[in-house]
């Protein structure tokens, strides 16, 4: 009985930004837990490659998560033509590293649109259908920067703090309709987004000393928490953000 709580058989999951990195790892993990997968990204060719790597005949749903109308059209069309999206993982995101005093306004705007507005656009589009069905799971990917800051990424830190608070707002508005909306906050993981940091011996040495677990995270280590938040096991968990960070937010 207890293990069946984590079974996603018969569920369909849309993961934004899932052609690589954390998004792809979560798509693979949810698929292994039984879910039917819908891959998303802007680049249809990259999605095709990801689908081949994933296997299992996932659906491909290319759209720009920052375009409200395009998101609505894609989600509504999929729901009508294919079926319900039971689980949404809002993973799409970007990073830009520049000291705050020199931070370009256009990069700031791109961060706002990609990291915050997309969570609203895709979350609202999917929730409208989930509300009608009286059930749904939304998992928003936050960050260790939801709770902590580092030099050179102040606007990114702002966006990830906003993701956690938008998650609380989603839960507050939508829990009464049977939705569970929660956040998953990775610490420092070896991903394409962090490639420059992984390649920096000085940063890696600092990170290993700063993190109680003493190492970078592996993206596969995010899967268990995502399955929990996407499954019946979290039926009374709402509006919280779970940190998967090797203990970095727990220690000075």
Averaged over successive runs of 10 residues, the pLDDT of the chain (252 residues) comes to 91 98 97 98 96 97 98 98 98 96 98 98 98 98 97 97 98 98 96 87 96 96 98 98 98 92
* pLDDT at res. 1: 57
Helix (H) or strand (E) holding 49: helix 44-54
Q: How far apart are the first and last CA of the chain?
A: 40
Query: Which among 24, 63, 103, 156 is annotated as catalytic?
Result: 156
Q: Rounded to whole angstroms, how far apart are CA atoms 171 and 117?
A: 17
Short-list 129, 131, 127, CA closest to 119: 127
Residue burial 165-182, b: 16+ Cβ < 10 Å; e: rest: ebbbebbeebeeeebbbb
Size of the chain, expressed as the number of residues it contains = 252
Q: State CA 10 to chain mean position distance.
A: 21
In angstroms, rounded to a whole number, what is the distance separating the alpha carbons of residues 60 and 53? 13
Give the separation between CA 149 and CA 180, rounded to whole angstroms: 28
Q: 3-245, which class in CATH?
A: alpha beta
- pTM, entire model: 0.96
pLDDT score at 48:
97
Q: 177 an active-site residue?
A: no
């Amino acid at each position: 009985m207890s293990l069946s709580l984590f079974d996603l058989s018969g569920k369909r999951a849309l993961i934004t930004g899932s052609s690589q990195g954390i998004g792809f790892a979560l798509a693979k993990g949810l698929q292994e837990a039984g879910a039917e997968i819908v891959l998303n990204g802007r680049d249809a060719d990259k999605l095709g490659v990801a689908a081949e790597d994933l296997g299992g005949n996932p659906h491909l749903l290319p759209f720009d998560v920052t375009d409200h109308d395009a998101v609505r059209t894609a989600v509504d069309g999929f729901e009508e033509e294919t079926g319900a999206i039971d689980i949404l993982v809002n993973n799409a995101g970007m990073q830009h590293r520049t000291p705050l005093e020199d931070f370009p306004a256009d990069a700031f705007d791109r961060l706002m649109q990609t990291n915050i507005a997309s969570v609203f656009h895709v979350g609202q589009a999917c929730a409208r259908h989930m509300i009608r069905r009286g059930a749904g799971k939304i998992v928003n990917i936050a960050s260790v920067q939801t709770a902590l800051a580092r030099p050179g990424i102040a606007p990114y830190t702002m966006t990830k703090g906003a993701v956690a608070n938008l998650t609380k707002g989603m839960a507050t508005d939508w829990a009464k309709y049977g939705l569970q909306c929660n956040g998953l906050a990775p610490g420092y993981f070896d991903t394409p987004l962090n490639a420059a940091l992984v390649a920096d011996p000085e940063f890696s040495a600092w990170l290993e000393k700063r993190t109680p677990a003493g190492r970078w995270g592996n993206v596969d280590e995010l899967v268990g928490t995502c399955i929990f938040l996407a499954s019946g096991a979290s039926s009374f968990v709402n509006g919280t953000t779970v940190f998967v960070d090797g203990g970095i937010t727990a220690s000075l």
